[in-house]
Chain A
Amino acid sequence: MSSPAVARTESAPPSKPVQRLGDRIFSGSTLTAGALILATLAAVAAFLVLQSVPALTENPEDISIFTSGETFWTYVWPLIFGTLWASALALVMAVPVAIGIALFISHYAPRRLAQGLGYVVDLLAAVPSVVFGLWGANTLAPLVQPFYLWLTENLGWIPLFAPPASGTGRTILTAAVVLAVMILPIITALSREVFLQTPVLHEEAALALGATRWEMIRMTVLPFGRAGVVSAAMLGLGRALGETMAVAMVLSSSGIISFALLTSSNPSTIAANIALSFPEAYGLNVNVLIATGLMLFAITLAVNAIARYIINRRKEFSGAN
């Protein structure tokens, strides 16, 4: 029965258990799969870097996507600006609403309704980005255009609302609104999760002191969930930075650097620029676009790393798990 193929060396440490063939094959294949993921990621990084190098080393005069005198850095800088600006705007709009929804579902809505309402918000996450793009360009932009016109006429002295208003409504603000709608579900879902984890004892302690519901939330739920909300916002930011189609379809860009929200000349984003330029790109232009993609990768990586760091640090303190 117990006839192992292993050599019966006397010095074999007793703590080393015998491995069966089936076990070895199975654990080996799971390990291979895990290693494959590491290899894939290494390949992603390696190929992107490899293909990006020519964009930086070749003579900028030979790259047709650059206007004369432009280098890679002057080409990519407005795109980075546009990416960060659009995402920041989206975040500013999405976070308060997301916190509101999360609180509504976790602490205000009746218990029986809460889960269904959660599903409704998750529905937003299920809509493909290209449909958001179509909706943003065809429905939202015409809808908000008169409002933009009114803003530039009456509040044009604020730099953000500087005239002239775009005739189509397809400005960076519209793109940011669409982005905000798209990142709303992820921020809501994660915030809701941390709000629900608030220790019931803390909440009841606050209520027993005669606190109103809002006072209870401010005293217990919000302090407890702060780190979670911050990291949720960061993850949402990561999404917004990399979002391509909605921006590519909604925004009519001219590749400038400008904070004005309502005009027809808007900065573009890295992802949207790749989507718009890549189908027609050839030669070194492809390398330039891949290099911009690498920049995007680096930025989202940094943002996500910060989010993970916050989550993990919180885990250590919360004592959960």
Chain B
Amino acid sequence: MSKRIEVKDLNVYYSKFLAVEDVSLTIEPRSVTAFIGPSGCGKSTFIRTLNRMHEVIPGARVEGEVLVDGDNLYGPGVDPVLVRRNIGMVFQRPNPFPTMSIRENVLAGVTLNNRRMPKSTADDLVEKSLQGANLWKEVKDRLDKPGSSLSGGQQQRLCIARAIAVEPDVLLMDEPCSALDPISTLAIEDLIEELKNEYTIVIVTHNMQQASRVSDRTAFFNIAGTGKPGKLIEYDDTNTIFTQPSVQATEDYVSGRFG
């Protein structure tokens, strides 16, 4: 279920503009890896290349390799749709489908792909996914209510349930808590702690306390200035990054001296 990601010499472009330059790193299975760095440093852009979501933006393209258990995501003939089916993503703002109920939202990944499943299997999947997202107890009596009727934090957990319902190998989270209040944030962080037993998790966050709380490994991205490409500055165990980083810029950042 959980896979290793190897990124080799990755450059990301928006048309002519080089947004992220020369990133190489390895993400271990069954771990939480956090990407931190100032705004505009390319960490969100980079995480979107891990399931080819960046292609949704016109003009975006990639050079280099992303290997998931040895298979290159950017090899010839690779179908981005299949890539995304195996590498799920949770976004900055909760985005449940407004036309669907809670139950339908959880099953969206299955039903939207025109796959049929017996009702009992579907029921099991809904319960399993919602329990996996720590949401089952709160919503089990109103599965037919619209997904947008939930609170922000619940909506975000619904989106996580939706993402894990398709049983991906990897779960990418792009600032999943930035639109949530502290209590909802705590609930999501607890959830991430549980999820890492089954999934490879990559999380982008602005919040350094959050990175230090939830992640095993941390990557620090930075830019030299506006218009310059973002770069991976340092990648190490979270403890090391926050206590004795080897690069001065990392230390400045984690100690709050800039950014």
Contacts from A to B (Cβ < 8 Å): 1-2, 4, 6, 8-10, 12, 14-15, 17-18, 20
Contact = CB atoms under 8 A, between A and B. Distances in A.
Contact of A14 (B62, B81, B82): B62
Interface of B: 52, 55, 61-63, 74, 76-82
Given A4-B77, A14-B76, A20-B81, 4 more contacts: A1-B82, A2-B79, A9-B76, A14-B74
B76 A8 contact: yes
Contacts of B80: 17-18
A135 to B, nearest CB: 44
A2 B61 contact: no
Contacts, number: 31
Nearest to B71: A2
A7 to B, nearest CB: 9
B236 to A, nearest CB: 30
Contact of A2 (B52, B74, B77): B77
Nearest to B81: A20
A2 B63 CA distance: 21
A10 B63 CA distance: 15
Nearest to B76: A12
Nearest to B82: A2
Contacts of B79: 2, 4, 17-18, 20
12 contacts: A2-B78, A2-B79, A2-B82, A9-B76, A10-B76, A12-B76, A14-B61, A14-B74, A17-B52, A17-B79, A18-B77, A18-B79
Nearest to A5: B77
A12 to B, nearest CB: 5
B82 A15 contact: no
Contacts of A1: 82
Complex A-B, nearest 5 residue pairs according to Cβ-Cβ distance, in ascending order: A15-B61, A4-B77, A18-B79, A12-B76, A2-B82
B34 to A, nearest CB: 28
Nearest to B79: A18
